[in-house]
Amino acid sequence: MYDQELLQKIISETVAPDAGRVDHEGAFPRAGIDALAAAGVLALTVPTEFGGGGFGMAAAADVVRQVSAACGSTAMVVAMHFSATAVLAATGRNDVLREIGRGQHLTSLAFSETGSRSHFWAPVSTARVDGEDVVLDARKSWVTAAHEADSYVWSSRPLQADEQMTLWLVRTGSEGLGYPGQFDGLGLRGNDSCPVTADGVRVTPADMLGADGAGMDIALAAVLPSFLVLNASASVGLMQSVTRQTVAHLVGTRLEHLDQTLAQQLPARVTLATMQIQTDRTRTLVEDALVALESGREDAPLLVLEVKAAADDSAALVADLAMAACGGAAFRKELGIERRFRDSRAARVMAPTTDALLDFVGRALTGLPLMDA
Ligand SMILES: Cc1cc2nc3c(=O)[nH]c(=O)nc-3n(C[C@H](O)[C@H](O)[C@H](O)COP(=O)(O)OP(=O)(O)OC[C@H]3O[C@@H](n4cnc5c(N)ncnc54)[C@H](O)[C@@H]3O)c2cc1C
């Protein structure tokens, strides 16, 4: 296994203490990301020949879960990085894998667009050949770590292929990239999930990830399983931590006139039990999906579609119940529960959104194509 002790040390000494400030200021969690990079955690899924850990998705999911228990923003930056890294590995972008292996490269996904919004499978942004170069024009609506990443895995319409999508590696700092605005979100406030525009950004044909028009197949094979499982793992981490916090509050808070704790009140225990059951249910589903994926089980594709939809709603419910169980104390910032409540809302609107996933699951069950063109 990877160095669990080192990961826990980074989480407890850097990520957790900074989580409140990251949320309050909407600041990128730079110290935590740098510490994770220096410890080789961001290179966990990079093949060993390129200096990485050579671990699979289960290890990545475990890291995201543990980081998320301390800071949702840091966890989501890491989840995006692992998902984009999966594309780089699948398409043999070894130079960037080596940079990640050295702990010197953070990457992210630039899929969602102003034009096609949450329908990530239908980019409207363009790529065209101009001499030796390829020119990209786009209005990306959300890119996590937009100002802070070293590269984006970027979707566009194909150059020529009669398909929906081609993928590119776009290095940040490329001329023509624009950042029209800062991220001031309800939750995951340290994510730096900003719009990014491309006005005549020049890349080379070698920056194409996979073949022209193969973007959707790569997204389905590499991005989708990774992003769905990691996003669900982030939700599990959030649920585990908010449930632990609720236990601590209920056990440690007294009604002096009754000489009892809040935990001695039946409604509080019922709420807490519901939180624990939802958390364990979701954790079990995610773990089963990982086993199914790694063993190539027949139901793996369906479970992968299910996990994020299940986790999105469970996280929102569990965080909501934590707010109820801890009452006015949770409404204030000092417990940190209202931060988790706000963070929990993000998963449902991150594409594939819960709505889209429920549709995908229904389509998969009834033999329809996953998405319409
Ligand atoms: C914190 C955060 C970080 C993000 N980071 C990234 C990132 O790094 N990279 C990236 O590419 N994107 C990122 N996104 C964007 C995300 O993936 C979605 O694209 C975006 O949140 C969708 O919002 P929208 O308003 O454009 O949705 P819209 O498409 O306008 O949808 C609005 C609502 O309608 C529903 N809806 C839309 N169409 C249908 C339909 N056909 N059937 C049923 N329901 C439908 C949706 O589910 C949604 O609830 C991020 C989003 C968040 C919140």
Please report, for the domain that includes residue 274, its CATH number. 1.20.140.10
Q: What is the reported pLDDT for 1?
A: 56
Mutate to test the pocket of ligand 1, among 22, 80, 119, 142 (most ligand atoms within 8 A of CB): 142
Q: What is the reported pLDDT for 295?
A: 96
| Cα–Cα distance for residue pair 124/138, rounded to 1 Å | 8
Residue 83 lies in a domain: yes
Residue 130 pairs with which residues in a beta bridge?
Answer: 133
Question: What's the gap in Å between 118 CA and the centre of ligand 1?
Answer: 4
Residue 146 lies in a domain: yes
Asked if residue 55 lies in contact with residue 44, where contact means CB atoms within 8 angstroms, the answer is: yes
User: Phi first, then psi: what are they for 17, rounded to 5°?
Assistant: -65, -25
Ligand 1, pocket residues at CB < 6 Å: 80, 108-112, 117-118, 141-144, 185, 188, 191, 193, 346, 349-351, 353, 355-356, 359
Query: Which atom of ligand 1 is the closest one to the Cα of 353?
Result: 47
Q: What is the reported pLDDT for 373?
A: 66
- Domain span at residue 227 reads 216-366
Mean pLDDT by 10 residues, the chain (373 residues): 89 98 98 97 98 97 98 98 98 98 98 96 96 98 98 97 94 97 96 97 98 97 97 98 98 97 97 98 98 97 98 98 97 94 98 97 96 76
Q: Are 96 and 129 within one domain?
A: no
| Cα–Cα distance for residue pair 52/330, rounded to 1 Å | 41
Question: What's the gap in Å between 298 CA and the centre of ligand 1?
Answer: 29
Question: What's the gap in Å between 355 CA and the centre of ligand 1?
Answer: 10
Query: Which atom of ligand 1 is the closest one to the Cα of 355?
Result: 47
| Cα–Cα distance for residue pair 125/157, rounded to 1 Å | 6
Q: What is the reported pLDDT for 234?
A: 98
Mutate to test the pocket of ligand 1, among 353, 359, 371, 372 (most ligand atoms within 8 A of CB): 353
Residue 372 lies in a domain: no
Q: What is the reported pLDDT for 93?
A: 98
Number of structural domains (the chain) is 3
Domain with residue 94: its CATH number is 1.10.540.10
Among 213, 232, 251, the domain boundary falls at 213
Q: What is the reported pLDDT for 21?
A: 97
| Three-state SS sequence of the chain | CCCHHHHHHHHHHHHHHHHHHHHHHCCCCHHHHHHHHHCCHHHCCCCHHHCCCCCCHHHHHHHHHHHHHHCHHHHHHHHHHHHHHHHHHHCCCHHHHHHHHCCCCCEEEECCECCCECCCCCCCCEEEEECCEEEEEEEEEEECCCCCCCEEEEEECCCCCCCCCEEEEEECCCCCEECCCCCCCCCCCCCCCEEEEEEEEEECHHHEECCCCCHHHHHHHHHHHHHHHHHHHHHHHHHHHHHHHHHHHHHHCEECCCCEEHHHCHHHHHHHHHHHHHHHHHHHHHHHHHHHHHHCCCCHHHHHHHHHHHHHHHHHHHHHHHHHHHHHHHHCCCCCHHHHHHHHCHHHHCCCCHHHHHHHHHHHHHCCCCCCC
Residue 373 lies in a domain: no
Question: What's the gap in Å between 246 CA and the centre of ligand 1?
Answer: 30
Whole-model pTM: value is 0.97
| Cα–Cα distance for residue pair 322/127, rounded to 1 Å | 47
Among 84, 106, 128, the domain boundary falls at 106
Q: Are 174 and 203 within one domain?
A: yes
- Among protein residues, the one with the nearest Cα to ligand 1's atom 27 is 118
Residue 283 lies in a domain: yes
Would the CA dihedral through 39, 45, 46, 48 be positive or negative?
A: positive
Q: What is the reported pLDDT for 64?
A: 98
Residue 173 lies in a domain: yes
| Cα–Cα distance for residue pair 140/154, rounded to 1 Å | 9
